[in-house]
Structure 1
Amino acid sequence: MRFDGTQNYVATDDLKVAVNAAVKLRRPLLVKGEPGTGKTVLAQEIAKAMDAPLIEWNIKSTTKAHQGLYEYDAVARLRDSQLGDERVHDIRNYIKRGKLWEAFTSEKLPVLLIDEIDKADIEFPNDLLQELDRMEFYVYETHETVRAIERPIVVITSNNEKELPDAFLRRCFFHYIKFPDRETMQAIIDVHFPGIQKMLVSKAMDIFYDIREVPGLKKKPSTSELLDWLKLLLHEDMPLDVLQNRDPTKAIPPLHGALLKNEQDVMLFERLAFMARRQGN
């Protein structure tokens, strides 16, 4: 099995190498990068390319590692025992399988996505070390060991919100998705908007990359936000000269809400526009 990108996902050469190395080694692929650079979509496209089922575990701040293995609902069992339900005699009726259990017992080799692992507390990665390394875990309530039929392809994403433990990093194959350069971005746009006017894309990218270079920007616009902006420009049938002959005293681009996502950045651009007007006078 080799991953060479898909029709819907433009993968750089170094990303292809990373994916294929992780698949070969059957090590978890840890993918970092700015939000909006396609980390989550990567796992989805790997599954499509390899015709594999995708099992997604979306991590939240309250997620605990054991939830990925299984959860035992003791409260439900107690309630059923009080009601005289026959189900109480089999404890398996109260065990809910987690995403790792699903991946370990899948009849077809799956892709397991552990999405945004850095959202959980610092102990979360450590609590998964043994299970991801040995590909097995013990269920205390039923006294059974769940072992992976075949080591699943594991993709773990992180937005770098917190550092991951060294012991966890040692067990992963790491890749950082760099922000796309203009050539790669053009290829991504061509996938999503085939036949789009080249001049419109060129001017839009000029503005987009200029915005990303503004000092003091709290949140730089991402690839997904550029695609949203282009979609709006096309939908609103924005004349090309609006982008070509943009007034420098109006620093905020048209439909800027697709690119600027907080009031601090909007105010920053308004100040830049004010300063440009003063210098013009």
Structure 2
Amino acid sequence: MSKRSEPKPWWVYRGNGQPHEDIGKLPPPPPWRKSRGPALERPLTSGNGPPPRFEASDEVIELVNTALYLRRPLLVTGKPGSGKSSLAEAVAWELKLGRPLRWPINTRSTLQEGLYRYDAIGRLQEASLQEKRGRAEGAVAADPDIQQFLQLGPLGTALAPSKYPRVLLIDEIDKSDIDLPNDLLNVFEEGEFEVPELSRLVRTGADDERKVRTLDGEWAPTDEGWVRCHAFPLVIMTSNGEREFPPAFLRRCLQLDLKEPGQEQLEAIIRIHLGDEAVAKASPYLRAFLERRSKDTLATDQLLNAIYLVTRVPGAQHDMQSLVEVLFKSLGSLGTP
């Protein structure tokens, strides 16, 4: 990870952790990345939590800005603990884009899960209850409002129309089944998707304008049953490098390889999280960490755990050797005999 230089004039994301509203200065998208959703107002906010701790290099900052300008997803590859997930939080905080949406991926994850969920069973149960009440009261029960049983997923919420982009973290996409990356292509390209349960109402003349609930608990408008974004979300996908992706998928992404932080960067990370005093006491643990990491797979948070114990827990520094053995276990050997 290289040092960070002074912010460049074209940078919207500066990587310094200072919230600002320059996202409003982002120019229109390229002509081949036009969207059709309305520009609904959404307040810019960094949220109420503590600021994220992330040390961004020039390469990271430039790729994030390039993704913002081109409206393209960013595929971030790196070893566990290299800060891949923290990047999404840092960008959302600085640009005041709200809390990042998260979609953790596993082998059972599907595009449908990311877009929206329809609780058909819940609606059927509600219809049965209303029918019973109607019979008891001698009235005809109306069908339950379908809007109450639809909710956008993290990807669907990121695509809900808004003046400013949302930040979406698709975490560990390399854990997905073989089809998911290709399934995402059309949604990434078009920035829209259909909710058939709503579009059927339009075709039957039952309704022409419905809203759907987002993960935030807000209501997003649909266009004849379609959710169409206005501002393409900043999609950050993380990968531990455990698989290869299809060329068509890679062609639509910008790629960032997060290198393991060296000694200087680790000291900066310790300073950010634990303060200057912790850096002064960290030297023996930092040396032990770097020595072991040269042979095994270790994550930065393992080092932070050790430094926290020896600087914040009285007496823990006297058990350095046992702490190193306990906390600096290779991640590559977990689960193996």
The equivalent of 2:87 in structure 1 is: 42
Structure-1-length-normalised TM-score:
0.81
Structure 1's 2 and 73: CA in aligned 2 closer, same or farther, altered over 3 A?
same
**Alignment partners' CA distance in 1, 2:332 and 2:181:** 34
Indicate conservation of the 8 Å contact 2:13/2:91, yes or no. no
Structure 1's 89 and 163: CA in aligned 2 closer, same or farther, altered over 3 A?
same
The equivalent of 1:6 in structure 2 is: 17
The equivalent of 2:160 in structure 1 is: 105
1:191 deviates by: 0.9
**Alignment partners' CA distance in 1, 2:301 and 2:194:** 41
1:164 deviates by: 2.0
Does 2:73 correspond to 1:25? no
SS at match of 1:185: helix
Cα displacement string for residues 15-50 of structure 1 (whole angstroms, at most 9, x for unaligned residues): 111111111111011111001111111101100010
**Alignment partners' CA distance in 2, 1:121 and 1:13:** 33
SS at match of 2:61: helix
SS at match of 1:93: helix
Higher deviation after alignment, 79-88 or 63-72: 79-88
**Alignment partners' CA distance in 1, 2:13 and 2:233:** 15
Indicate conservation of the 8 Å contact 2:77/2:239, yes or no. yes
Does 2:140 correspond to 1:88? no
Indicate conservation of the 8 Å contact 2:270/2:279, yes or no. no
1:261 deviates by: 5.7
**5+ residue gaps in structure 2?**
1-11, 19-52, 132-140, 200-224
SS at match of 1:80: helix
The equivalent of 2:274 in structure 1 is: 193
**Alignment partners' CA distance in 1, 2:278 and 2:80:** 27
1:239 deviates by: 8.1
Q: Given residue 329 of structure 2, which amino acid in structure 1 is its aligned partner?
A: L
Does 2:193 correspond to 1:148? no
Does 2:277 correspond to 1:230? no
The equivalent of 1:76 in structure 2 is: 122
**Alignment partners' CA distance in 1, 2:111 and 2:332:** 36
Higher deviation after alignment, 140-149 or 254-263: 254-263
1:10 deviates by: 0.9
Cα displacement string for residues 44-69 of structure 1 (whole angstroms, at most 9, x for unaligned residues): 11000100022222223322111111
May I ask how many residue pairs the two structures share in their alignment? Answer: 255
Indicate conservation of the 8 Å contact 1:232/1:255, yes or no. no
Higher deviation after alignment, 85-94 or 154-163: 85-94
Percent sequence identity is 34
SS at match of 1:131: helix
Structure 1's 210 and 102: CA in aligned 2 closer, same or farther, altered over 3 A?
same
Indicate conservation of the 8 Å contact 1:31/1:176, yes or no. yes
CA-based RMSD: 2.6
**5+ residue gaps in structure 1?**
244-251, 269-281
**Alignment partners' CA distance in 2, 1:123 and 1:39:** 23
The equivalent of 1:137 in structure 2 is: 193
Cα displacement string for residues 78-110 of structure 1 (whole angstroms, at most 9, x for unaligned residues): 223333355635333322211222112253431
Does 2:329 correspond to 1:260? yes
1:238 deviates by: 5.3
Structure 1's 151 and 264: CA in aligned 2 closer, same or farther, altered over 3 A?
closer
Pairing 1:178-217 to 2, within 5 Å after superposition: 178-196=259-277, 198-214=279-295, 217=296
The equivalent of 1:249 in structure 2 is: none
1:256 deviates by: 2.7
Structure 1's 121 and 263: CA in aligned 2 closer, same or farther, altered over 3 A?
closer
Higher deviation after alignment, 162-171 or 33-42: 162-171
Q: Given residue 122 of structure 2, which amino acid in structure 1 is its aligned partner?
A: A
Indicate conservation of the 8 Å contact 1:87/1:93, yes or no. no
Equivalent residue in structure 2 for 1:161, among 230, 235, 242? 242
Q: Given residue 175 of structure 1, which amino acid in structure 2 is its aligned partner?
A: L
Does 2:112 correspond to 1:59? no
Structure-2-length-normalised TM-score:
0.68
